[in-house]
Amino acid sequence: MENITAILYLIAAICFILALKGLSSPKAAQRGNFYGIAGMAIAFITTLALADKPIWGLMGGAVIIGGLIGGTLAKRVQMTQMPELVAAMHSLVGLAAVLISVAAIFHEGANHTGVQRIELFIGAFIGAITFTASVIAYGKLSGKFGSKAVSFNGQHLLNLVLAIAMIGFGIAYYLTEAHAAFLAMLAVALVLGVTLIIPIGGADMPVVVSMLNSYSGWAAAGIGFTLNNPVLIIAGSLVGSSGAILSYIMCKAMNRSIFNVLLGGFGSGPAAAGAASSGPKNYKSGSPDDAAFLMTNADSVIIVPGYGLAVARAQHALQEFAKLLTEKGVKVRYAIHPVAGRMPGHMNVLLAEADVPYEQVQEMEEINTDFATTDVVLVIGANDVVNPAAQKDPASPIYGMPILEAYKARTVLVVKRSMAAGYAGLDNDLFYMDRTMMVFGDAKKVVEDLLKAADQ
């Protein structure tokens, strides 16, 4: 029986690895999801079969109810709500780790070794921090709590005191196995999750989402050691390590360290305030007809999508317009910044949903050198990822952040509702360049007008 269990867990682990590999590409994402579902089904059934007197009805009912809720959300949640949904899912993983650890602590007759007590402590406090931090991230992403950073005097000192108290209670539990010490540790960790996230501004939320993904994985791995469940250890380690790597990639794309993110967000300092409050500047604006004329007569067009595209649900209309341009002999490509949107890969998923050909979608490193020889760049719903201040203004909070170098194109068209600052709260010099034309309006309406004008 042990050999069969080991083989089944190995198959489940391989499925999880294949799932991550598949999810690395929009083309293979559907297959990756299938592998993930298959691996989880194998792991769940195997674990339940090994349980002592499992309550099949209770577990089966929980799976059915959870599946119905998940399936309903998957069909109803809009692409713009996907980042906060991911944050909410991370909170549930953290909460699960907390509940499992509490159940293990209060399990009658349980005799945890010193190593197991350490594992419980680590898994529980990471899970608790992940839970409350993810709830705050969900609120910031959904706009329920506001996206601005919340800071006050002594904030970092408070976090330090909370961290020391949490570790202190954890040591007390390790030495005495006192339930009260363990619960006190959890309470402090729950508060620490809140105080760690509230000073982070909205522009850093993509990194936070990735970081919380990593936390949830490590929490699951820690609980896996306690339960002596190898597949949970493997799955948690895969999620934790991949989330950590993605957080590093995101920070590199923003020219920030993870510590810099945790200590405060873009747009919260005086430099950002000054940038946002600078005096009026001159800019040029045009109609969708003007923009359509420029693009249909161009040899090459690069489209830079952003969160505004998702909000307007304009991806399908944009794909129709891009298809029309291609039929007219225009070379069309999409440029994706690593932190475009509100979560890693947000724009890739958005474009895949609209059946944009994979070969037209290129990452920043692939396409940045082509902007200088491009006739027209269409920036639609994006702001901070094309801000030249990142390269030209040492006083800017985003100075040094790699950007899509749209400003080098011969003509830049920017679709925005207004001249308001972007998510980071910064003005954008791109909008005031001589080669830039602003096209104001709802992204979907503007793209539909572009399509009509180009089709005449």
Residues labelled catalytic:
384
Q: Which two tokens stand for residue 104?
A: 């293990």
Of 149, 413, 419, 171, which is closest to residue 278 (Cα–Cα)? 419
CB-CB neighbours of 454 under 10 Å: 21
Yes or no: say if 235 and 18 are a contact pair by the CB < 8 Å rule. Answer: no
Give Cα separations from 128 to 155, 169, 185, 207 (angstroms): 20, 14, 10, 19
Q: What are φ and ψ of residue 304, in 5° steps? A: -110, 100
From 36, 47, 111, select the one nearest 70 (Cα to Cα): 36
d(CA 444, CA 81): 18
Residue from 359, 314, 368, 369 nearest 332 by CA: 359
CA–CA gap between residue 51 and residue 24 (Å, rounded): 34
Question: Of 376, 359, 378, 389, which is closest to residue 416 (Cα–Cα)?
Answer: 378
CB count within 10 Å of CB 393 equals 16
SS3 letters for 259-313? HHHHCCCCCCCHHHHHHHCCCCCCCCECCHHHHHHHHHCCCEEEEEECHHHHHHC
